[in-house]
Structure 1
């Protein structure tokens, strides 16, 4: 998973000698770094203070069923927007969907405040290309050996990398998205969608309690606390699940499964499974592994709103499975 990025920055293409091939896969300049710092402060640091404010505000307005319902419902829909929409649909194209579904997923994913759609997709595709190697924007395994190196790597991959990093050239990594004009129009409204995700719970809180205190409480719990909780759940996949967990399948990076977190991550914690089969709509791969993101995709499929849902065959999964004796399996295509 990747985190927060500029909403819709499209760099000028840099062409090679033949005038057609982009020269650079990643771009770094002061303008981009300013955008990254601004986004980092607004959507990574501010929710920390917003969460602290929510607890302080309990002295003015105690939490009730409305706040709990807003926190859960907004966490659920925006979390699915990121995991099913940004990740499985737009990045990996693991299924096809109706244009109305694509738009809804783009809007809900944007409301999570974890970055503009095109930038998010480009960063995640670069992550898979360079995973746990030079060029990976958020690997925890490139900061040195020993306890100090591991702690420094976890801090970088979980949170600090978003302050400043190379920006992937979206012309190289996300040409399919920038060719879709309707989608780009939705993506360019990223900051408005984030604002909508804050105003909606504030409006509901104000209407339910008929007071400004209710509106503030709704904003805090359904908005800032929700962003804080979802962000750290998603970021833990970047950090902890590239260092700790099980590895049932061969993959060239250090991705791990953390099945105990499957529900709260919408199935994304089957991370080794995902890296082994990047085009799979199911991360759990088997029916008995909890995967709420895949449940949504199956529901959309049953309703005729999604199709061509990709799942690896049993033979393909067996070919990638690590043998119990630890000997490597010959590499196959993912």
Structure 2
């Protein structure tokens, strides 16, 4: 995509992730490490080398922070082709920003409770709202490598958890994704529906992004 569109989506990432903002650079590096070392002891987030989903995510957090703050050596092959915007990176990772978003979420819930007659039980969703990024990562990386079926033997334990991945917008087709990591459609079989695929096709048609075929 062009630089202006890249900045637009970078800012949109911050606005949509809010308190659980993740650096595109650090996330890209961890994702590349995950593919290179899938389900081995070098995998930054494999469910097969930790006791439970909480210890997996805690270990992932430590690796993420080390990569984010450049305190961990990263292989040269992983350090390329990712967007950077230092201002948004520092803003999104600051505790002032995270706490500020948290306050906004609480205010929104309180106003909905007062003026929209929202049931009090919805307040139990606040922790999920605070930690949407890590929770999304926990579901994809835990479930996508433990539960479901395999279309391909990828020499790892990646699975397809759903045949219509409405929950994680296609990311639970982990077995397919590990077989064809450069494919824009995470579905493989005719019955596997990746909801993000038509969005990518639309963005390409609108000239917002350019789909490049691998030769």
Change (3 A) 1:200 1:115: same
5+ residue gaps, structure 2, are: 68-72
How many pairs does the alignment contain? 199
Name the residue aligned to 1:101: 5
Mapped pair 1:186 → 2:88: yes
Name the residue aligned to 2:41: 134
SS at match of 2:45: coil
Name the residue aligned to 1:275: 178
Q: CA deviation at 1:259?
A: 1.4
Equivalents in 1 of 2:150, 2:203: separation in Å?
Answer: 30
Q: TM-score, normalised by structure 2?
A: 0.71
Equivalents in 1 of 2:209, 2:53: separation in Å?
Answer: 36
Equivalents in 2 of 1:257, 1:209: separation in Å?
Answer: 38
Q: CA deviation at 1:207?
A: 7.3
Q: CA deviation at 1:289?
A: 2.4
Name the residue aligned to 2:58: 160
SS at match of 1:257: coil
The answer (yes or no) to whether the contact 2:53–2:142 under 8 Å persists in 1 is yes
Name the residue aligned to 2:70: none
Equivalents in 1 of 2:42, 2:100: separation in Å?
Answer: 34
Q: Which has the higher contact order (CA 8 A, sep 6+)?
A: 1
Q: CA deviation at 1:170?
A: 4.9
Matches within 5 A, 1:192-271: 194=98, 197-198=101-102, 201=105, 224-228=127-131, 231-259=134-162, 262-271=165-174
Equivalents in 2 of 1:206, 1:156: separation in Å?
Answer: 33
5+ residue gaps, structure 1, are: 1-96, 144-151, 313-334
The answer (yes or no) to whether the contact 1:114–1:231 under 8 Å persists in 2 is no
The answer (yes or no) to whether the contact 1:266–1:293 under 8 Å persists in 2 is yes
Matches within 5 A, 1:1-334: 97-110=1-14, 111-112=16-17, 113=20, 115-142=22-49, 152-157=51-56, 159-162=57-60, 164-165=62-63, 167-168=66-67, 169-170=73-74, 172=76, 173-177=78-82, 183-191=85-93, 194=98, 197-198=101-102, 201=105, 224-228=127-131, 231-259=134-162, 262-285=165-188, 288-310=191-213
The answer (yes or no) to whether the contact 1:154–1:240 under 8 Å persists in 2 is no
Q: CA deviation at 1:165?
A: 4.1
Change (3 A) 1:294 1:305: same
Alignment RMSD (CA, Å): 3.7
The answer (yes or no) to whether the contact 2:160–2:175 under 8 Å persists in 1 is yes
